[in-house]
Amino acid sequence: MSEVYDLIILGGGPAGMASAIYGSRSRLNTLVLEAKRKTGGQPSTYHDMENYPGVPETTASELMENFRSHAEKFGTEFKRGEVKSLEVNGFEKVVKCKKGEEYRAKSVVIATGAEPRKLGIKGEEEFKGKGVSYCATCDADLFTDLDIVVVGNGNSAVEESIYLSKFVNKITMIVIHDEGVMDAEKILQEKAMENEKIDFVWNSVLEEIKGDGLVEKAVVKNIKNGEKSELDCSGVFFFVGRVPSTDFLEGVVDLTEHGYVETTKQMETNQPGVYAVGDVRNKVVRQVITAAGDGATAAVMAQGYIEEEEYWQNHVVEADKPALVAFWSVTDQESMDLVSQLENMELEDKGYKFLKIDTYKNRLISGRYDIEEIPTILKLEDGKVASKLVKPEKEEIEAII
């Protein structure tokens, strides 16, 4: 039988690698599956990194390399693999890759991120790799001393334009808003406005890309008067948002209408033991620092889930005798009194395995058995509920023993 990992992380971006650091450091047998040759996720396609706390001077790729080294220091295993499907069979999760590899785990963190959004305009697909690009750090040097067009006006569009200006002759940013209005942060807007290599075409959209084998012209349409014009250029860069990589999760976990994974604040999906972090989950702020925070949270939750499930499997589901389980809380005196009463009933001598479950620390088990009030007692035989008593009297307990 193949090895069963404690934690498999799907994706090697900042969220995934933060999960790996926290998981491995907690002695979880951790595997990171990354589809691309190089780990780092979306930040690996950027150059500058100015907003990661405590690291005022670094590049995005250097920061991601440090993330990976940190994870490897604690024993994280890294493998290449593009995920085809995820199956959840109770405590066992099965990850299948497109080349046939299959991995098993007790818990899974989905950190597959998002891919650049494509607009589907005429010429975009035709000239992909022939002047059309979605990655500045990947392709900037190919456009040295040439004129290019940038589509987009958010943070990533402006940051990447500033980076591209170190290589190209001239950049024309096509902005859909009125003059002076952009979606990027003010400090980035100011940097772009002050950059002599960056020009702007306002109230406009890109309608078509033309060329003979390679990009030669961009057709721009003014959205207010409908007029079209052609810009001579050697390349078109798109920075218009991203699409979550969740196709393989249809029917497995809950997704929003736009394909993002729905989670709790604890990064939990609707599947116990399956978590989602970073850009792939439904959230407001998508930055490296928030992705890392997501990853740390998910790993801590995964560790608690594994401990809780293994305890339940070993002491209840696979027990060789019936189990009597008392759900209690240190904040509820009635439940504490009942636990004391049960401890004095010599249940072990009567052929029962007696367990106490703190509802605060064991939310998953409590939720699975719909424990809404405490104290509650469950009698389980062969792992199945035989009796359930809510706020029971002593006579009721004696009746089910």
Cα 401 from Cα 397, distance rounded (Å): 7
User: C-alpha distances in angstroms, 202 versus 172, 178, 366?
Assistant: 10, 6, 57
Cα 202 from Cα 174, distance rounded (Å): 6
296 CB neighbour count, 10 Å cutoff: 18
User: C-alpha distances in angstroms, 290 versus 14, 185, 275, 278?
Assistant: 9, 17, 15, 7
Burial of 364 (0-12, 13-18, 19+ CB in 10 A): middle
Cα 378 from Cα 389, distance rounded (Å): 7
Cα 3 from Cα 240, distance rounded (Å): 41
Beta bridge pairs of residue 172: 149, 199
Cα 357 from Cα 365, distance rounded (Å): 8
Tokens representing 388? 């359930």
Contacts of 244 (CB under 8 A, 6+ apart): 112, 113, 114, 258, 259, 260, 261, 279, 280
Sign of the CA dihedral 13, 14, 20, 21?
A: positive
Query: Strands of 323-328's sheet, edge to edge?
Result: 353-358, 323-328, 376-381, 384-390
Do residues 355 and 328 touch, judged by C-beta distance below 8 A? Answer: no
Which has the closest alpha carbon to 357: 348, 369, 366?
Answer: 366
Helices 288-312, 60-73: axis angle to 10 degrees equals 20
Name the residues annotated as catalytic.
135, 138-139
